[in-house]
Amino acid sequence: KAGVTQTPRYLIKTRGQQVTLSCSPISGHRSVSWYQQTPGQGLQFLFEYFSETQRNKGNFPGRFSGRQFSNSRSEMNVSTLELGDSALYLCASSLEGWAGENTEAFFGQGTRLTVV
Amino acid sequence: EDQVTQSPEALRLQEGESSSLNCSYTVSGLRGLFWYRQDPGKGPEFLFTLYSAGEEKEKERLKATLTKKESFLHITAPKPEDSATYLCAVYTSGTYKYIFGTGTRLKVLA
């Protein structure tokens, strides 16, 4: 079965611009979460969506936002890009994303964002 | 505050030299502990889920175990292709998020 698909794989943007990243989860998965990965900080949680509702948000500024559509596909938007936003952005999907079984999260290949 | 700590940060092994990676955690309401493997420039690849103390899971040369405070990933007779960063994560009830450790970078030399 198809895995988690993230597009685009690579992006180069200029400071001050905005960017939108896309994530298509595994078919049937309703939970989608986003992470920022940098060499110094590791994987940092951005937010999680389930059935189009944001259930949790990490400690990132309001420039980072997301949404989920009725088909569970999700987008993440970063406005007013800063140099420090350069990172690998990872999307993960899981069946339920809550306590109990089926909490395994499966990751996409990520979008490498470079801000210049 | 929920926290996950992995050790060592980096590990170099000779091919065939078995070892263990550690993941210690301080969380309230653990609902699952996960191990992932990540190759450079790629997303983490799911390996194991452990739900309760005493549980063990195996896959090829890897075996994961769980206690109430930590988890171990045992690597038996590793091969160069096992070289990667191994990440540990926990999922706690009511938070809807995974908390990751910073990983162990494993290098297996032929």
- Which of B3, B96, B100 should be substituted to probe chain A, the one whose Cβ sees the most A Cβ atoms within 10 Å? B96
Per-residue pLDDT at B95 exceeds 80: no
As a whole number, mean pLDDT of residues B39-63 equals 94
pLDDT at B41: 87
**What's the mean pLDDT when you consider all of chain B?**
93
- B86 vs A: CB within 8 A: no
Q: Give the pairing of strands B3-7 and B19-26.
A: antiparallel
**Quick check: B72 contacting A, CB < 8 Å?**
no
Alpha-carbon separation of residue A35 from A8, A16, B69 (angstroms): 16, 21, 25
Q: What is the pLDDT of residue A99?
A: 45
Tell whether B1 lies on the interface with A, counting CB pairs under 8 A.
no
Chain B CB contacts of A110 under 8 Å are 41-43
Q: ∠ at Cα A90 (B108, B101), nearest 5°?
A: 55
Contact A45 B97 (CB under 8 A): yes
The pLDDT-based confidence of A102 (bands split at 50, 70, 90) is low
Residue A101 has pLDDT above 60, yes or no: no
Q: Which of B46, B93, B96 sits opposite A104 (nearest CB)?
A: B46
Predicted pLDDT at A98:
52
Q: Is the pLDDT of residue A50 over 80?
A: yes
- Tell me which of A41-50, B35-44, B91-100 is least confident: B91-100
Look at A43 and B87 and tell me if their CB atoms are within 8 Å.
yes
pLDDT at A100: 47
> In sequence order, what DSSP letters do the residues of A10-69 get, joined into one string?
EEEE-TT--EEEEEEPPTT--EEEEEEEETTTEEEEEEEEETTEEEEE-S--TTEEEEE-
